[in-house]
Amino acid sequence: MLPAWSVAPEIAAALRDGGPVVALESTIVSHGLPRPDNLRIAREIEQAVRDAGAVPATVALVDGVVRVGLDEAALEAIALREGVVKCSARDLAVAAARGATGATTVAATAHVAALAGIGLFATGGLGGVHREARETWDESADLVALARTSICVVCAGVKSILDVAATLERLETLGVSVVGYGTDRFPGFYLADSGHGLTWRVDAPEEVAAILRARTALALEGTALVVANPIAETDQLDPALHAAVLEEALGAADAAGIHGRDVTPFLLARFHERTGGASLEANVRLVLANARLAARIAVAAAADA
């Protein structure tokens, strides 16, 4: 029988030696970025982690096995194969038992990373409370996963298609720590500033490593630490274009009856179409920046150990 999960040898060795490792999710590759560019971008994200001195560990389900660290064939399967399932935490075991191939969301990736003993994780934007949540109850499982998983997640805030204020309230209720990196404003994914302030700001990877140490000492490491890293202002989407496209995209999703796990991929794809690729460019830049920062934090945390 195949094992339910496996760790690539390079990653297992790094973890044994207490070396820096950064987990990466795969839903952004399969469902968040258009083909065939997604495969090249997935490689670039891994390379960004390597360039900053850490080992990348992209997580995905390939033919029924949860893999921590993908070889070329596995990365290609996730990026290009038809019918790759978007797996949140609740989908993982079901999909694994069926021998499926699936990409892991923030919720599923955080769970698997913690299982493997990886402390750092980079993504684009977290899921959260959707704008129509009052009617639909649509709130990403990313939030509850962050409330119960010991992991540090580097992201550009939550996706700007969401109700950011409500998501920040939920993160507070769930006991998830949020710090801004180089800012006291909560980033807005495609935009540098979501319009919401933050209580805590850090300015160096070593400061995050110190927070991680304090969490362990205080037995507060059972939840996630979110490091919110804004996209550079020169790379952000034009705010007026963002507002116009968002309104159009939300209307289109509603008209097309999109719901459940299809909402986020639909809205992101609509953005990429309607901004003539500008949102795609911004998305790639912010993910690369998050991968680099997560690697620097992993290096700082490993130096502590």
- Report the catalytic residues: 25, 159
- Residue number, 138 or 221, with CB nearest to Mn ion: 138
Binding-site partner at residue 25 among Mn ion, ligand PSU, none, CB < 5 to 8 Å by type: ligand PSU
Helix, coil or strand: residue 199: coil
Binding mask 131-150 for Mn ion (x = CB under 5 A): -------x------------
Cβ neighbours, 10 Å, residue 250 = 17
Distance, in Å, from the CA atom of 124 to the CA atom of 33, rounded to the nearest integer, reads 11
Name the binder of 177 from ligand PSU, Mn ion, none, CB < 5-8 A by kind.
none
Fill in the amino acid letter for 6.
S
Residue with tokens 């080992």: 55
List CB contacts of 30: < 8 A, sequence separation 6 or more.
38, 78, 79, 84, 86, 103
Q: Which is nearer to Mn ion, 67 or 86 (CB)?
A: 86
Q: Which of 71, 69, 58 is nearest to 30 (CA)?
A: 58
What is the closest distance, in whole angstroms, from the C-beta atom of residue 129 to Mn ion in the complex?
9
DSSP state at residue 132 = T
Please identify the residue of the shown chain whose CB is closest to the bound ligand PSU.
124
Alpha-carbon distance 153 to 212, whole Å? 12
CB of 302 to ligand PSU, least distance (A): 25
CA distances from 12 to 20, 101, 153 (A): 11, 22, 20
Look at residue 28 and give the partner it binds from ligand PSU, Mn ion, none, a contact being a CB closer than 5 to 8 Å depending on partner kind: ligand PSU
Residue closer to ligand PSU (CB basis): 209 or 226: 226
Q: Which stretch binds Mn ion (CB under 5 A): 41-49, 109-117, 130-138, 240-248?
A: 130-138
CB of 19 to ligand PSU, least distance (A): 26
The answer for residues whose C-beta is within 8 angstroms of residue 46's C-beta and 6 or more apart is 24, 56, 58, 291
**Can you give the binding site for ligand PSU, defined by CB under 6 A?**
25, 27-28, 31-32, 105-106, 123-125, 127, 140-142, 261, 264, 268, 283, 287
Give the Cα separation of 34 and 24 in Å (integer): 18
Count, residues in the chain: 305
**Cβ 223 to ligand PSU, closest distance in Å?**
17
Binding of residue 25 to Mn ion (CB under 5 A): no
Q: Smallest distance from the beta carbon of 250 to Mn ion, in angstroms?
A: 14
Residue 279 binding partner per list Mn ion, ligand PSU, none, with a CB distance cut-off of 5 to 8 Å that depends on partner kind: none
- Token pair of 237 as six digits: 């989407």
Tokens 């540090």 sit on residue: 152
Partner that binds at residue 268, options Mn ion, ligand PSU, none, CB closer than 5 to 8 Å by kind:
ligand PSU
**Which chain residues interact with Mn ion by CB under 5 A?**
138
